[in-house]
Amino acid sequence: MTRGRLAAGLREHRVALLLAALAALRVFLFSSAFPFFTNVDEQKHVDTVMKYSRGYLPRPGSDAYEPETGSLLAIYGSPEYLLAEAERAGTPEPAWKQPTAAMLARIERSERFLAARANKEAYQPPVYYATAGAWMALGRALGIQGGYLLYWVRALNPIATFALVLASALFLRRLAPHDSFLYLGVPVLLCVFPQDSVYYVTRDAFSPLLGALCFYFALDLARDPDRGTAWFAGVGGLAAAASLAKFTNVAVLPVLAVATLFARRGGSRPAPGRGLAVMWGVALVPLAFWLVRNQLLFGDPTATALKVERLGWERKPISEWLDHPLFSFEGAGFFLRELVPTFWRGELAWHQRTLVSPAADGFYQLTTALFLGLAGVGLWRGRDPAQRRIDASAALMLVASVGILALLSLLYRFTESSNPPAGRPFFVQGRLISVAMAPFLLLYLRGIEVATSPLPPAARRVAAWACVAIAVGVIGASELRLSAPVFASEYNWFHLP
């Protein structure tokens, strides 16, 4: 390697570290600004983390809320998520500022309220909850308590984001060493990506990292299958971890299938059957074990039957699936139009209003349709086998993720008061498929490359980075404007006693 290339590599590694640090700082600031407990069932996730911190494993009848959850909800729970905008001036001061008698009465009411309810998340897959539970136990051992312990659990999210951005920069540089727009552009967009599920305690928080790592490792294996058994086991382990963090993350498995096909015929020699068997064994055995365990304990492999019942949903027979509006042009269009903005920004609300910018949502919808469409054109016409392999794997993972949400939409009959409601029977919560965040951004950038390809080489690079700069500007302006009232909340980390 020449001295010039070595210096360029060092600069790019510093840029990658800087982007990862900025991404972690952004997530830390926003997760510190949002008070507990957000409108996206955060109290359920915190309670499940608390259970795992004490050695919990799901079993029938173990879904009662922890008494400590009621206390934390009473003391640190902000009413600002539920109070209407007109009631903002009447927001009560935090419980820790109120007289002791008033605070104790509030705790008693909260504990009594939760005692009559079951935690619908208590039986869900364990990877996030077990990791966050161990992290919470460490915080307790360090003497962290109360509201600071809650924010300590959220502090896992900046760490995961740092790893996501850094891994994206390093792996994409290895996978596409001559495409600096790709291996720097994906980390840049990940640095500012506004999906708010990384701002609070939720099992969706690990999905972007686990999905990206599985995607990158599988692609690296497909590119260079001359690996030891440990590498194959590592790829399988990442797939198992992703699937057992959230069942919708099984969208990573088709990428493993593609990697298997390429590994069987790539490299200086085909990948050994033993290595591939180890990969698939490590990927599927833990998932199968958990599904069988659920079947034996709950009579349901996903242990979601109780959750579905409590939500008021009802399983539909297959014979009724084709009656779903998803199979109409209007219904499919609605599904995609609603899914795209929530995939970008999430679902957090403030004073009963989802934090939405119509202009930003329009930008997300327009550019996603345009650049993903152009990425498809580039994939169809592309001649570079390595590039086609990367793009095809990204497209497969994204399509599989969206397909899982479409399938879930077909499975149930909803009521008018449920979420989703009967009038709009679609799962359009983009956080559910944030496992595909890195592959999505890879295709988004590939579409920008195709859009700017008719320009002269010098202008092409400037125009492509200008598109990224516009996206960063729209995201930043929207996030700052929408979240400004949140940073002023008296209930957040900045105001804890």
Give whole-number Cα distances, 227 to 174, 217, 270, 277, 437, in Å.
16, 12, 10, 13, 27
Least Cα distance to 382 among 316, 326, 450 occurs for 450
Q: What is the pLDDT of residue 1?
A: 47
pLDDT tops 90 at residue 43: yes
pLDDT tops 60 at residue 484: yes
380 versus 354: the higher-pLDDT residue is 354
Q: What is the pLDDT of residue 334?
A: 95
What distance in Å separates the CA atoms of residue 327 and residue 308, rounded to the nearest whole number? 24
Q: What is the pLDDT of residue 6?
A: 53
Tell me the pLDDT tens digit for each residue of 135-153: 999 999 999 999 999 999 9
| Per-domain boundaries in the chain | 3-36+156-495, 42-154
State pTM to two decimals: 0.93
Could you list the beta-strand ranges (E) of 151-251: none
CB 441 within 8 A of CB 208: no
Least Cα distance to 256 among 211, 212, 218, 217 occurs for 218
Phi, psi angles (nearest 5°) of residue 158: -60, -35
Q: What is the pLDDT of residue 159?
A: 98
- pLDDT band per the 50, 70, 90 thresholds, residue 28: very high
Q: What is the mean pLDDT of residues 35-61?
A: 95
Q: What is the pLDDT of residue 266?
A: 57
Could you list the beta-strand ranges (E) of 358-419: 412-413
Dmax (CA) of the chain: 74
- pLDDT band per the 50, 70, 90 thresholds, residue 269: low
Least Cα distance to 97 among 486, 402, 497 occurs for 497
Residue 305 CB: number of other CB atoms within 10 A? 15
pLDDT > 90: what percent of the chain?
74
Q: What is the mean pLDDT of residues 369-376?
A: 96
- pLDDT band per the 50, 70, 90 thresholds, residue 449: very high
What distance in Å separates the CA atoms of residue 117 and residue 34, rounded to the nearest whole number? 25
Residue matched to tokens 């970008």 = 344
Least Cα distance to 129 among 40, 59, 66, 51 occurs for 51
pLDDT tops 80 at residue 265: no
pLDDT tops 90 at residue 438: yes
Residue 278, helix vs strand vs coil: helix
β-partners of residue 349 are 354
Tell me the pLDDT tens digit for each residue of 211-258: 999 999 999 988 888 878 888 999 999 999 999 999 999 999 999 998
DSSP at 66: P
- Give residue 228's Cα distance to chain centre: 30
- pLDDT band per the 50, 70, 90 thresholds, residue 308: confident
Q: What is the pLDDT of residue 417?
A: 79
Residue 71, helix vs strand vs coil: helix
pLDDT tops 80 at residue 90: no
- pLDDT band per the 50, 70, 90 thresholds, residue 85: confident
360 versus 83: the higher-pLDDT residue is 360
And the tokens for 382? Answer: 């592309």
Measured at the CA of 364, the angle between CA 362 and CA 368, to 5 degrees, comes to 120
What distance in Å separates the CA atoms of residue 299 and residue 172, rounded to the nearest whole number? 43
**Using CA of residue 139, residue 144, residue 146, residue 149, what is the dihedral sign?**
negative
DSSP at 65: P
Q: CB-based burial of residue 116 (10 Å sphere; 0-12 exposed, 13-18 middle, 19+ buried)?
A: exposed
Q: What is the mean pLDDT of residues 302-327?
A: 88
Cα dihedral 441, 444, 446, 447, rounded to 10, equals 180
Could you list the beta-strand ranges (E) of 264-371: 314-315, 349-350, 353-354
Q: What average pLDDT does the structure give for the chain?
A: 92
Cα dihedral 61, 63, 67, 71, rounded to 10, equals -160
